[in-house]
Amino acid sequence: MMTKKEKVIEITRMLEEFYPETPVPLDHKDPYTLLVAVLLSAQCTDARVNTVTPSLFQLADNPYDMVEQSVEDIRAIIKPCGLSPRKSKAIWGLSEILIKQHNGEVPASFEDLEALPGVGHKTASVVMAQAFGVPAFPVDTHIHRLAYRWGLSNGKNVDQTEKDLKRLFPKGIWNKLHLQIIFFGREYCPARSHNPLECPICSKFGRKSLMPKTDS
């Protein structure tokens, strides 16, 4: 029987074979536009976010221009992404804080990022990894699900799963690996209508139960 260490090595090899290149899925030009795009991606597909952000960033692609807009104007543009009342307030609010506290720049700090409106640990992790190259392992519900399916974690929530994955995989590959897992999940290991026998990784390492238990 394969040990967990051997499984980790094999999964890493397979993901590298499938996805040697990992372009950032959200269109952006700098840390600020990435931060806004990641915030918009909550409960929304990256593809939809990428159809909305050109109009938003044409209006305002920096915090100084963003605070000149009304929350309602921001909301009208981002409405297709869902949760627009909350997201529009967060975008305006974080822009104001960046101006007042960070000279209009996105801070390269987990603590400072997570203090911004609408920015949780996962969003901060994406920004730290993709904008600043700091090793991070952003775990959303999709990665949480795949980590369980592949027998890499029994975590009941994304925080526990993140700790498990960070312990299993070398720090130097975290930033690329989390994108590889996302791309693989979309193509081969979707949340619904998933046939484990047709999935290259689940067919080798998958559990009988495909859904992790969650905290109530």
Q: Please list the active-site residues.
A: 122, 140
DSSP labels for 113-131? HHTSTT--HHHHHHHHHHH
Distance of alpha carbon 46 from alpha carbon 199, whole angstroms: 23
Dihedral class, residue 119 (left if φ above 0, else alpha if ψ from -120 to 50, else beta): beta
Distance of alpha carbon 176 from alpha carbon 137, whole angstroms: 9
Residue 53 tokens, joined: 């952000």
How distant, in Å, are the alpha carbons of 19, 40, 168, 181 from that of 48?
Answer: 22, 9, 33, 20
Residue 154 tokens, joined: 């029994």
Distance of alpha carbon 21 from alpha carbon 12, whole angstroms: 14
Helices (H), 4-69: 4-18, 31-40, 46-59, 63-66
Dihedral class, residue 82 (left if φ above 0, else alpha if ψ from -120 to 50, else beta): left
Residue 194 tokens, joined: 């998933």
